[in-house]
Structure 1
Amino acid sequence: MSTSHSLWRSGNVRWLGWWTAAHLGALMLIVGLAQDKELTRSLCAWGSDTSRSGAVDFITSWGNPLPVTLLAVVSACVALLRREVMAATTLLAVPYAAALSCSLLKELVERQRPGLACSAAAEGFSFPSGHAVSTTTGFILVALFLSRFLRAPAAHLVLVLAVVCSELVALSRVLLGVHYSVDVLAGQLLGGLWLLLGIVLLGQRRKLRTPEKLRADKSRSAA
């Protein structure tokens, strides 16, 4: 049985608005002060310390394609078991579309990766961060879907954990020196746009109709 509460209603748009404002503000501040490269260099040097590098590598692995894809597939299967076809489609299609838009934007901008002395090896272009896009969209979208079946305190906890994990993955990309700070913030904002679409689509709670349901609907319409 699903539980309805403010987190799933207007609260979703409200907190996403504050989240977007905070990230957009940070992006504008870094660009306005021309601190992108310097901030990236400082964070990369801090993250490259041997006492931290193992933890940073572990955290960034959460945003790799395999875990993100598995999370989307498993959550979509749960939705299908509940006969929620719109939710299942959203949980698969929105993260995929977000990743595709990120790849297209990378090819359009063609920004090179930082290439610092502390930078880890990475292929492809730098802007925006694919890890930031995929975890912002995928992690939080799944958390919002799960929040349907939880009471408000537990639902808030799941959402907070998803947001924290996505933020840690995004930060890890700068700590590894494979993205500039602006790349990560832009990726999070792009992911936030797709997340908003996911929130709208998840609100369309349409279930697959069983043969019994179809016959019942026909009987009512005939009457």
Structure 2
Amino acid sequence: MKDTGFSIWLLLVGVILVTVFTYSFFEITEGFLESEINSFDTIILEVLDPIGGYIRIKWMMFITELGSVWFLTTMSVICILIIWLGKRDIWAISFFIIAVGGGGLLIRMLKYIYQRERPSINSEIDAIGYSFPSGHGMGSLIFYGFLTYIILGNIKSKAIKWSTVILVSILLLLIGLSRVYLGAHYPSDVVAGYLAGAVCLMINIIALEWLKIQSQNKNSTKSMNI
């Protein structure tokens, strides 16, 4: 009963977050279409204007690779294998694939809809095609967010849980920062990517938690009948 109650609260919080993130995303796109976010981008870009040397740029290029398509795809395959060999949780694997794969399709669709040009084109840092929203931001949030969800659900140590949340939060922030620093995206691209990724992530987590509740209810009913 405690697990079911926790899952229901998680569902309610998830629905609220999806609503907030979706509203925020469309607020940004409305401002983008009306050129109202230019001042925001300009201020952030001025603060983050690359003034570092070779080492700092190389460091940012390393960070940005942690959110690249090839890296996230490789790590997704590894995570799926670990989940399968560990708990054989077919539902977690399925929604992990749906979240990551669906996010990839969604980002392509959104880029095609808004067709915002990049600050600069550089194939070496995966900065080609349209800019809005950030694929690195969206893909990273979905992958690392779902990975965090799985870890939190299977690890009992509070220290490990808090460490995971903090480290993932810092990593996501750095990946977004690297995209702006390297001139691949405007700050608003990254924020919009995070919001779109959060919506996609939460929808999949909500669906997975709902299936868990249904499964628990069925098992409870069978136990009572026996």
Bin of the TM-score, shorter chain as denominator length: 0.7 to 0.9
Q: Name the SS for the 2:67 alignment partner.
A: coil
Aligned-partner residue type, residue 99 of structure 2: V
Q: 2:188 aligns with which of 182, 198, 206?
A: 182
CA 1:103/1:48 → structure 2, altered by over 3 Å: closer, same or farther?
A: farther
Q: Matches of 2:192 and 2:185 in 1, distance apart?
A: 11
Matching residue's letter, 1:141: F
* CA-to-aligned-CA distance 1:9-41 (integer Å, 9 cap, x gap): 7469759949x67xx499699975642441354
What are the Cα deviations for residues 105-155 of structure 1, in whole angstroms up to 9, with x where unaligned?
A: 111211111139xxx772101111100010011111111112122123312
Comparing 139-148 and 150-159, the one that deviates more: 150-159
Contact 1:47 1:176 survives alignment (8 Å):
no
Which whole-Å CA distance do the structure 1 matches of 2:12 and 2:48 have between them?
A: 33
Indicate conservation of the 8 Å contact 1:63/1:134, yes or no: yes
For structure 1, the residue ranges without an aligned partner over 5 or more in a row are: 207-219
Contact 1:145 1:202 in 2 (8 A): no
In the aligned structure 1, how far is the partner of 2:185 from the partner of 2:93? 32
Going from structure 1 to structure 2, the CA distance change for 1:47 and 1:59 (only over 3 Å counts) comes to farther
| Cα contact 1:72–1:142 (8 A) shared by 2 | no
Q: Does 1:38 align with 2:36?
A: no
CA-to-aligned-CA distance 1:179-203 (integer Å, 9 cap, x gap): 1111111111000001101221332
The one-letter amino acid paired with 1:171 is L
* 2:165 is the counterpart of 1:150: no
Does structure 2 conserve the Cα–Cα contact (< 8 Å) formed by 1:132 and 1:184?
yes
Contact (CA 8 Å) 1:170, 1:184: kept in 2 or not? yes
Describe the shift of the 1:121–1:78 C-alpha distance in structure 2 as closer, same or farther (beyond 3 A). closer
Q: Which TM-score applies when normalising by structure 2? A: 0.73
- Unaligned stretches of 5+ residues in structure 2: 214-222
Name the residue aligned to 2:67. 63
2:50 counterpart SS class: helix
Can you list the C-alpha shifts for 1:160-213, whole angstroms capped at 9, x where unaligned?
Answer: 22222122111111111111111111111000001101221332349xxxxxxx
Output the CA distance in 1 between the equivalents of 2:99 and 2:50: 34
Q: Compute the TM-score of the two structures, normalised by the length of structure 1.
A: 0.74
Count of aligned positions: 201
Partner of 2:134: 129
Aligned pairs for 1:201-220 within 5 A: 201-203=207-209, 204-205=211-212
Matches within 5 A, 1:100-111: 100-111=105-116
Offset of residue 84 of structure 1: 1.1
| Residue pair 1:137, 1:194 contacting (<8 A) in 2 also | yes
Asked whether 1:75 is paired with 2:110, we answer no
Higher helix share: 2
